Amino acid sequence: MTADTFPPPPPPEEPLSTPLEWAPPAWPPVPPRLRHHVRNALVLLALFASSLTAGGLVGAKLVSSTPTASTSPSTSNSQPSVAAPGGNAGNPNGSGNTGGSTSQSSIAARVDQAVVDITATLGGRSGTVAGTGMVISPSGLVLTNNHVIEGSATISVQIDGTGPAYSATVVGDDPTADIALLQIKGVSGLATVPLGDSSSVAVGDPVLALGNALGQGGTPAEASGTVTAVNQTITAGDETGSSETLQGLLQIDANIQPGDSGGPLVNASGQVIGIDTAAQVSGRFGPQQTATTEAYAIPINAAMAIVHQIESGVATSTVHIGQGALLGVEVATGASASGAAVVGVQAGSPAASAGVAAGDVIVGLSGQSIGSSAGLRSAMQAHNPGDHVTLTWVDASGTQHSATVQLAVGPPA
């Protein structure tokens, strides 16, 4: 199959001097998420998960990316801005061109029946996140981005945008690689996506991205393009100064939308070669303009290596097995004197029941010394919901406290 099987992608728009947030101005603002949720979404390039609330959309934040090791014909030395999810663009046409050639449609049809729309209800707050996943086993294992389901209390999926919504649980995740594995409950004999070999992907290869564009559901939207670089490293940071890095990514020029996170990137043979994960802001979002034409995908080989680690049931320093455990604190990401500085506590959470308050500093968790907010998140990765842990903290007056709490379901902080 030749490269001209796919319709040529639209020319990229001229970037704005100041990238904008992805939030339709006509929709009312809503209260922001707890900072640790925002931080995780931004840092891990949660660019295509669409965050919804009862009052409207959570406005997207802006982060920066630095592509490296490019094999593209031309590479810019500038650091483009990247938008994180939290807002849908007001584009009613979905992700890219859904009315492409017969060849494009037939290739999409090979994958569509194993693509799922994901809706994750955020723990402890009124809000949901919409994203995409792909079925990789007949028993209902689903591969997606970690940022799609991170911090969720409940997860539901709909296969190929039709039929009933099924409940799903987290089998395991690797936040540092932005990979999560889900299990759909009560299903069997499902169609699965055909997996390709991402090590053979080359610059110029035609690709098709599929996903739950703008969280609208229905038949997966399509966005065609080509591979413009391989082995990319992207560093993203948020306004708090935190940063995280994803490595070895595929760079593409497909027209990706919020909600496409976790969706399959397919080659001309209809095989999945990557997971749509990140994008660069290249224009103003709204009814008159479209989404970015520079995006990034996690190679499927790297993703499946993490899946196999999760399936083994053996946790590592980065891979967590089972659902996340919630302590219920919002911690500052900047440096503190010693420990994780608490800036907020979720009502009704384990931390709240222990008496932890804003202004306190967490210094220990079950005998492990905590020297920073990152240290707390790392320590929480080793625990599961229902675990009893001993929490040690110092209050604003300098008095040390200790209490045993039972962790709930939620993100590891």
Q: Which residues are catalytic?
A: 147, 178, 261
Tokens standing for residue 398: 């300098």
Spell out the SS3 assignment of 85-111. Answer: CCCCCCCCCCCCCCCCCHHHHHHHHHH
Cβ burial, residue 73 (10 Å; 0-12/13-18/19+): exposed
Task: State the sign of the Cα–Cα–Cα–Cα dihedral 324, 327, 330, 332.
Answer: negative
Measured torsion, CA atoms of residues 320, 321, 322, 326, in degrees rounded to the nearest 10:
-30
397, 365 contact by CB (below 8 A): no
Place of tokens 């990514």: 249
Q: What is the Cα–Cα distance from 141 to 380, expressed in whole angstroms? A: 25
User: How does 295-329 read in b/e, with b if 16+ C-beta sit within 10 Å?
Assistant: bbbbbbbbbbebbebbeeeebeeebbbbbbbbbbb
User: Of 209, 247, 207, 245, nearest to 226 (Cα)?
Assistant: 207
Q: What is the Cα–Cα distance from 328 to 301, expressed in whole angstroms? A: 35
Q: What is the Cα–Cα distance from 75 to 132, expressed in whole angstroms? A: 30
> Which residues on adjacent β-strands are paired with residue 289?
286
Q: What is the Cα–Cα distance from 406 to 329, expressed in whole angstroms? A: 14
User: Is 304 strand, coil or helix?
Assistant: helix
> Which residues on adjacent β-strands are paired with residue 57?
52
> Which residues on adjacent β-strands are paired with residue 168?
155, 184
